[in-house]
Structure 1
Amino acid sequence: MRGNPAWQQDSMLAVHNWWHLALHHIELDDCGAALDLFDGPVNGHQSTLALELIDASALLWRLQLRGVDAGDRWAGVAERWAAMATDGNYAFNDFHAAMAFACAGRDDLLGLLREAQRRACARDDDNARFTSQIGAPGVEAVVAFVEGDHVRCAERLRAIRNQAQRFGGSHAQRDLVDQTLIAAAERGGQQRLARALQRERQLLAEQRRMQ
């Protein structure tokens, strides 16, 4: 799989562009190609940059939602997120770090992240509000999903999905909230909710294509 040399060389967005290509393969139900991209240009260089770790977590999570066995890949991603577990400076980062910690079984790092979020909520800044209103519930939704409590996951995500744009990321990145909510609803026996969400997502995609 080749990318455009214009964005592969000396570009801080090269990994993110590879990530978008991987999402394209997932939409085509070619999860094997997406996993190859994860193992190669998305995660193969073992980056410790938050921007690139977000892409690694988000891609692996999407593949897992599709039933792809991640093997031990989460362990390496979680280890590289570990240095930021106590930061609590950006709710969007915490959300993606929690995916890696929960999937890798790193309860120790999850504990540090939750404590960092509690400290963040005590501050008087934008991130305090984003963390308390969206970030912390999002982390708990991720943990609930990994633990198999899909009803609780769906409850948490339904409460934050309409304000998720406040804690950062692009439309493509925040779509992970709806994808996870749909999967949680399906697995939690809430089929009507899942169908309604899927239809809404399809309509939004059609609207964007027409713009």
Structure 2
Amino acid sequence: MAASSTSCSLLLAVAAICALSSLPCCAAAVSGGRSAHLTAGFTHVKLRESQFVVQKPYDVPLHERYEQSGGVRRMWVFATDKPISATHPGGARTEIKVNEVYSSGVWQFEGDMFVPSGTSGASVMQIFGAATHATTLMLHVYGGRLTYYHELTKVLADRVYDRWVRLNVVHDVGAGNVTVFVDGERRLSAAGHGGKEHYFKFGVYKQSHHQPSRRMESRWKNVAVYTKP
């Protein structure tokens, strides 16, 4: 009975500390490690597997650039690879287009990303669609740093190699802004680029800046999309 009373007291003490504390660790423990507070007030969009559209070099089979196992989507590409079609103007990539197009409201992308060391000069996530650009947002990796486009002075996170990084990207279409959270912390607020239709993409897309690596790879799990008016 004494041991049981001690255990109950300890549990009550821990609960009280978490209730009184605003530390992120308590929120993470309650939500199973997910940033639940970032999606509060949003509605989860139920995506079908067919809405995860893989875009890869047109001249190689899917299994040579993409695999899915144990809930993890793994994508890789070589700097010398072809684009997604013989006439496509873009560069080498293996990306997933989330085929959920939106034009209004507030939309949020959430996912856990793993970038192996050595990958550099690649876009790993983007919001496609803009008025004067192709994209509203691109997140690049250069030498283990996550950056806003290719701007090396706008580093969202250091040392992203070889670990799981949680990304939450919020696009408020009406307000015309984008907010990026890395591991639950806000790292970027930027103006949008207009445009009538948007969708999310993630994977690896070779960039022409800062000497891209010969091979690029990213892995993703727990990808979800949320929205609210």
Give TM-score scaled by structure 2 length: 0.28
Q: Name the one with the larger strand percent.
A: 2
Larger radius of gyration: 2
